[in-house]
Amino acid sequence: MAHVNDPEVIRRLLATPARWAVVGLTGNPHRVAPRIARYLMDHLGMEVVPVNLEGAEVFGLKGYRTLAEVPGGIDVVDCFVNSQKVGPVVDQAIEAGAKAVWLQLGVVDEAAARRAADAGLDVVMDTCPAIEAPRLGL
């Protein structure tokens, strides 16, 4: 059975200030991730933690190479990686004790979504906070 996003989960994740680890966030202005991370911070009041292959700093925020390296709790893992690579990121999110995974627009992995849900995480897939927040009036 295909994953269906729960509007109440989306509302709760976007309306409650939280710590979002954004996987795939770099300083490359030609990518979507920096714009959405900035939206999360500036419009929704989220704390953003960059996670990228280099562990590079973004927006003056310390970056990490993996979710396991991020100190403290993670509320939402926002996945800006393609569908073929998102499964291991979701597994890292489960292992790191994240409360939710958000697979960005175009990122679909039904098996990974099922694993996350089975582990007790909230799951949002194939949409974007910058689409959902205005739609919900946030």
What residues does each domain of the chain span? 11-124
Q: What is the mean pLDDT, run by run of 10 residues, along the chain of 138 residues? A: 89 96 95 96 97 96 97 97 96 97 96 97 97 93
Structure pTM? 0.95
pLDDT for the residue 3 = 86
Alpha helices for 1-138 (secondary structure H) = 7-15, 33-44, 86-96, 110-118, 129-135
The architecture (CATH level 2) of 11-124 comes to 3-Layer(aba) Sandwich (3.40)
Which residues pair with residue 58 across a beta bridge? 61
